[in-house]
Amino acid sequence: MTQMTLEVNLLGHRGDGIAQSDGGPVFIPGALPGETVSARVANGRASDVTIVTASPDRIDPACRHFEACGGCSVQHYAEKPYLAWKQDMVVKALADRGIEEPVGETIAGKPGSRRRAVLTATRAGRAILLGYHEKATHKLVDIKECPVLDPAIVQSLAGLKSLCSELMPKKGDLRLTVLATPHGLDVAFEQANKAYDSRFAALSTLAMTHNLARLTVNGETLIEIRPPALTMDGLTVVPAPSAFTQATAEAEEALSKLVLDNIGKAKKVADLFAGIGTFALRIARHASVHAVEGDAAAIASLDRALRVPKGLKKVTHERRDLFRRPLMAAELNAFDAVVFDPPRAGAQAQAEQIAASKVPTVIAVSCNPATLARDLRVLLDGGYRIKTITPVDQFLWSSHIECVVTLEK
């Protein structure tokens, strides 16, 4: 391990500063471009970092847990360069696939807006710790605040700990997914003590005391005081416990607006990896939609939402594993536009079929610039061209970025 003075010239895609040394790049946690630091270096990683000359873009972190917690990596970066960094993440990912197209400015996220959190609980003697893991460790940070999360979740941390104390397994950690809805928190525990059913009365009392909308343990809903419904353009959807939803309502609106603005006058739209209908329900106010999703619970949520007449255009849905059985080009040719929003792994097989189709308009939504770039390369090679690329900062102060790309044949 060598003591070195380093000049930071880049911010890496995971939020570490990067400096060049005789031995190659050095990754420096917490450092920002333009800073001079002194650090101990081994195997291209810096530790015991001291800021010698600070960047003018360095600001005070918003959270007391920032230096330890692994949830945020760039709270200490001023907003303007921070948003430019997120934009540049998309630019570089596309460039790696030979795609050089203008990338729009990042649509900013807001503190206190993240409505969905996946937390971990563990025992520390007689105490329960609840929060996120430290950066690159299994040690848990017992959070007292989180400026990213919806205040309703933060205010319920003590109540969630009470529930955790009833559900902790004999060994290992307890995981919980918390969704803030207009009707209260929807809380789903996983890996809970298998004897939880003997604590049903206590758990139900705690759920009511802390005003939860729904409490689910190991896949079983113990109590639903109110349906934890989300509203999408005036339409009501109740997601399954721990189901995927867009992380913030603001980002969901921004993504949906981009999708709707760019499908134009399409009359028939395929919504692939449709989830609970985030885009499909909104599109259905203007065009008929065929929603395809592999998760049975998500499709069931969409189906229930459609059972109440809402003056929509025709909506059909299909449960189908699009990784194993993508919609084929011949099927896709029936649509005027295709929207696809896959998980982080992307949608290569589906992109190959879209590329072979005659669909005039394609809108790709992704939370992973690397797999997005791979899928876009397939579409470009199949005869599409990119019209717009818009990053959306759904994951505030983290190294993740959402993106919407519109293409035409």
Binding positions are 246, 273, 293, 341
Residue bearing tokens 């999708």: 259
Per the annotation, the verdict on 164 as an active-site residue is: no
List phi, psi (to 5°) of 278.
-50, -45
Pairing of strands 361-366, 337-340: parallel
Closest CA to 130 of 180, 170, 71: 71
Beta-bridge partners for 271: 291, 339
Angstrom distances, CA of residue 348 to CA of 99, 205, 303, 322, 364: 16, 47, 27, 10, 12
What residue numbers does the annotated binding site for S-adenosyl-L-methionine cover? Answer: 246, 273, 293, 341
CA–CA separation, 164 and 130 (whole Å): 9
Q: What are phi and psi of 118, to 5 degrees?
A: -110, 110
Identified catalytic residue from 63, 72, 367, 403 = 367
Check: CB of residue 70 under 8 Å from CB of residue 347: no
User: What's the rounded Cα separation, in Å, for the pair 63 and 72?
Assistant: 9
Of 185, 177, 303, which is closest to residue 244 (Cα–Cα)? 177
The three-class DSSP label of residue 234 is: coil
Q: How far apart are the first and last CA of the chain?
A: 54
Report the distance separating Cα 368 and Cα 373, nearest Å: 9
- Catalytic positions, please? 367
